[in-house]
Amino acid sequence: MIRKNNPSVQIFPVIMSLLVLGCSGDDMRDLNSFMVDKRTRPGGVIERIPTFKPYEAFAYAATTMRSPFDRPIDARRLARLNVRSAARPDLGRPREFLEQFTLDSLQMVGRLERSSGACSLIRDPYGGIHCVQLGNFLGRNHGRITDMQISHVALVEIVPDGTAEGWVERRKTLKLESP
């Protein structure tokens, strides 16, 4: 039962009539002008879909051959035999001060000529300058100085070759740093 003196019952018809009046407006002039403008323009041409060449499968016939990035097996055996007999670091000798640094962190900064002989000046990562001569060791890979010139210091490192007891010699150069 709905009572007639209930205020919500009397307000409901007023709200509904306002909603109906708000939606009844016919102000679509901008939409109509937009549609007329679009209909008067000429239609575009759609390009044809390009034709693609069919995929041609490639049969790789070299799967049974040696990879070009691997060393031949015979060369590995030969290198292993030569390395074991020729290059070995002396692990019993006392380590020099500059052997605690990587070779990349050391810089040649000059050369000194003295009456006792020539020495090259090497800067360590902490800024210390050290005088080295032929036969001194540099870097972590047992690098022994073999040649000293005005512009560079040449050394030979002994590094593992990846096998259990194999070692190989590697030549490196420290060039004089320009200021």
Identify the pLDDT of residue 14.
78
Residue type at position 154: A
CATH number of the domain to which 167 belongs: 2.30.30.830
Number of domain units in the chain = 1
Q: Is residue 101 part of a domain?
A: yes
Q: Is residue 40 part of a domain?
A: no
Please report where in the chains the tokens 């990846």 appear, as a residue. Answer: 162
Q: Is residue 94 part of a domain?
A: yes
Identify the pLDDT of residue 83.
44
Residues paired with 171 in a beta bridge: 156
Q: Distances in Å between the alpha carbon of 28 and those of 31, 33, 108, 109, 167?
A: 5, 9, 83, 84, 88
The pTM score is 0.52
Query: Does the pLDDT at position 125 exceed 50?
Result: yes
Q: Is residue 130 part of a domain?
A: yes
Answer for the pair 170, 161: CB distance below 8 angstroms, yes or no. Answer: no
Q: Is residue 122 part of a domain?
A: yes
Domain assignment of residue 153, given as a range:
73-175
Q: What is the Cα–Cα distance from 148 to 133, expressed in whole angstroms?
A: 8
Identify the pLDDT of residue 85.
46
pLDDT in tens, 60-101: 777 777 677 776 656 556 555 554 546 788 888 999 999 999
Q: Is residue 149 part of a domain?
A: yes
